[in-house]
Amino acid sequence: MTQRRIGIDLGGTKTEVILLGGDSETLFRTRIPTVRDDYSATIESIAGLVEQAEAQAGLEALPVGVGIPGSVSRKTGLVKNANSTWLNGKPLQADLSKRLKREVKVTNDANCLAVSEATDGAAVGYEYTFAAILGTGCGAGLAHRAEAVVGPNGVAGEWGHNPLPWTSETELQSRQCYCGRFGCQETFLSGTGLCLSYRRLTGEALTGHEIAERAGAGERAAVAVVNDYLDGLARGLAAVINVLDPDVIVLGGGVSNMAVIYERVPALLPNYVFGGECDTPLVRAVHGDSSGVRGAAWLNPIKN
């Protein structure tokens, strides 16, 4: 019996495929520009990548998992909340399963991060993993051991579009989100939000990496923005801990590379976690940018 499996990460700009071996080694990997605004062409492009990976393996009918920047409603089977809007309202899982003649698993890309890290990354051995992506946007997913938890509405772990907790009304109203609401965590805790904070304070547009560097060098404005960011992140994560109390929190996405997060946020968490006590491990994703596609492959766990 083969232990090989295929993962697809359907991103906004690129679609990536990986072929994993039973020891989680990468046997094949390639990416193509995402086919945008054309649903049936999206299906065909994914099928093409699967066939390419299977040709490499010399095998057929391998298990396939797909991570998407949106969620799948368990009730309707339809995609929703995808910023790749041409997927919304479509039965992607059913259509891919039909096209590829096997049961394809489709889930949110942040769930893939959680599954990837719980399978062979930073969250191995923990029971509940909460994994957040702090990138262009801000999403999160949940895994129980190494399986994605999605819930009846398909939104378990979705967190970016809750308002940032313990934040003044004025501050919340100052951040409009693309989703139509104000003060979503995404508008503060994403890389985009971090850059906006700096730009509002200084008038200067920098990348998150540049802001972190300037803060490290002691620039006053950058230090203030990073301090606010870390406190906001602690508040956002404390609200998760107060509801779920996960065994580990994993961070991915560009902002998660800021070392200062792991040095300082753990000490800020007890300020907001009920009872004033918190020793939840806060760790960086081991597989970095590869976690999405690896986690998609692991949506079909090895059954012994």
Binding interface with Zn ion (CB under 5 A): 161, 177, 179, 184
Q: Minimum distance from CB of 176 to Zn ion (Å)?
A: 9
Query: Cβ closer to Zn ion: 184 or 226?
Result: 184
Q: In the complex with Zn ion, which residue's Cβ is closer, 188 or 272?
A: 188
Q: How far is the CB of 244 from Zn ion (least distance, A)?
A: 20
**DSSP state string for 130-147:** EEEEESSSEEEEEEETTE
How distant, in Å, are the alpha carbons of 81, 126, 177, 195, 285 from that of 189?
Answer: 19, 25, 12, 10, 17
> What is the smallest separation between the CB atom of 174 and Zn ion, expressed in angstroms?
14
Dist CA 240 CA 228 (whole Å): 19
| Helix runs in the chain, H state only | 39-57, 92-100, 109-120, 169-173, 186-189, 191-202, 208-216, 220-244, 259-268, 291-297
**Number of residues in the chain:** 304
Least spacing, CB of residue 161 vs Zn ion, in Å: 4
Number of neighbouring beta carbons within 10 Å of residue 279: 9
Closer to Zn ion by CB, 179 or 259: give it: 179
Minimum distance from residue 297 beta carbon to Zn ion (Å): 30
Residue with tokens 């100052």: 174
Instruction: Give the residue with the Cβ less far from Zn ion, 117 or 158.
Output: 158
The packing angle between helices 39-57 and 92-100, to 10°, is 40
Q: Which one, 50 or 79, has the nearer CB to Zn ion?
A: 79
